[in-house]
Amino acid sequence: MSETVLPITECQFDNGMIASKVGTWRPHGEPTRKDIKALREAAQAEGYSVLYISAAEPIEALEEHLQGRLIEFEGDRDTALAVLNRFGQKYSVRTVEQSDWPVIFDLYQHAFLTRFSRDPLVGLPRARRHKLKCMRTYQKNHPDFFLIAEDAQKQVVGVQGCMPRPTQFDLYESVILPQSRTGFAVAAMLRENLIRCRDRHPEVTRLVTRIYSDNIVSSNYYKQLGMSQSGGDYFYHLWIDQRRQPLTAMDKDNLRTGISKFLQERFLVDFGKNADGSTDLFKNGFIDSFGFMELVSYLETEFKIEYQPEELLLGQLNSLDGLVESVLAKSGAVSAPWSAAAQPRG
């Protein structure tokens, strides 16, 4: 392995959400196809399912794995605020509340494509759940800088998240309903965020945001705020484990052990003490709606299956017993209890 191939760093945040085990890697210099082959072998040996690879310059050996280029813009807080103050206030703005998350999740069906939603091995539903997990995690750390925009009828039309750092103020994300993309909703939220930044972190005046290179509308918007391009990275997804052998009925015990371990580690469900296989995990307070999305993402990622929206409403995924039977059915090891073959005939 050449000096170009460096150690892989595990991305624990995305484990179980995007793939079973996710790694990140950034080369020094231009890696060759031989380097990429050695990297793939090293990743496979360490049990990685996918590697996120970023580089300042395009990597020819990974051209077919390119998922997008993120461009960084930077500017000055007070310069941007002076521009925003010229716009009229057409939307009211408030801090994100707990009850807003289902609405925010729906908003993300209108979000601009990211490297995750572009990747067919991730898919749009999983990409949306991943983005919501990121959004919710950052909001917990910076609750005062995650805002909602509402119209005159109090309908939520947009959400925006920003994050103060020691040396910069990150403009993380804005998602707006298509019918409200006139610029005013983004302006209302960003203006309020910059005012809060100025009042609470007066020493932080540098603004930074990252957008995809093909998002021309946002690029022009930030340029109008006096921001200019300061860098950028190409992002690649190198999948190591794209497929898993179908489960069989003989795998049921191992499957049950794996799912129960996930439930115990993530949701503190202690089977044998405070729950058993038939316990309704929702009615007993172990899992809420956001936790359910994490659970579904884990099942889809770990067992290479996919749930349709209507399947999530059948109550099959409320207990450990139901989860095991559902995964087996989706994998083809047993007949699904809601399939036509399993319905009683009259």
pTM (2 decimals)? 0.74
Q: Residue 163 has what DSSP assignment?
A: E
Question: Do 4 and 26 meet the contact criterion of CB atoms below 8 Å apart?
Answer: no
Beta-carbon contacts of 250 under 8 Å, excluding residues fewer than 6 positions away, are none
Question: Do 301 and 17 meet the contact criterion of CB atoms below 8 Å apart?
Answer: yes
Beta-carbon contacts of 195 under 8 Å, excluding residues fewer than 6 positions away, are 81
Q: Which two tokens stand for residue 130?
A: 């991943």
- What separation, in Å, do the N-terminal and C-terminal C-alpha atoms of the chain show? 66
Q: Which two tokens stand for residue 81?
A: 């605020």
The structural domains of the chain, with segments of one domain joined by +, span 9-70, 71-229, 249-340
Q: Which two tokens stand for residue 311?
A: 């399947």
Q: What is the mean pLDDT of the chain?
A: 87
Cα–Cα distance list, 84 to 80, 183, 186, 196 (Å):
6, 10, 10, 14
Beta-carbon contacts of 58 under 8 Å, excluding residues fewer than 6 positions away, are 66, 234
> How far, in Å, CA of 36 to CA of 318, rounded?
42
Q: Which two tokens stand for residue 171?
A: 């403009």
Question: Do 8 and 23 meet the contact criterion of CB atoms below 8 Å apart?
Answer: yes
Q: Is the CATH number of domain 249-340 1.20.140.10?
A: no
Beta-carbon contacts of 328 under 8 Å, excluding residues fewer than 6 positions away, are 247, 249, 251, 252, 255, 334
Cα angle, residue 162 at apex, residues 158 and 164 outer, rounded to 5°? 165
Per-residue pLDDT of the chain (346 residues; tens, 9 = 90+): 454 557 899 999 998 888 889 999 999 888 999 999 999 999 999 999 999 999 999 999 999 999 999 999 999 999 999 999 988 888 999 999 989 988 998 898 888 889 999 998 888 888 888 888 899 999 999 999 999 999 999 999 999 999 999 999 999 999 999 888 777 999 999 999 999 999 999 999 999 999 999 998 889 999 999 999 999 999 999 999 755 455 555 567 778 888 998 898 888 898 888 899 999 998 888 888 768 878 888 888 778 788 877 787 778 889 999 999 888 888 765 444 333 333 332 3
Give the relative orientation of helices 320-330 and 252-267 as an angle to the nearest 10 degrees. Answer: 130
pLDDT per position as a tens digit, 89-116 = 889 999 999 899 889 988 988 888 899 9
Tell me, what's the pLDDT at 334?
47
Are 71-229 and 249-340 the same fold in CATH?
no
Per CATH, the number for 71-229 is: 3.40.630.30
pLDDT per position as a tens digit, 48-61 = 999 999 999 999 99
* Identity of the residue numbered 25: W
User: In the chain, which ranges are continuous DSSP H helix?
Assistant: 33-45, 77-84, 101-107, 115-118, 124-141, 184-200, 216-224, 252-267, 289-303, 320-330
Q: Which residues of 148-186 are buried (b: 16+ CB within 10 A; e: fewer)?
A: bbbbeeeebbbbbbbbbeeebbbbbbbbbbeebeeebbb
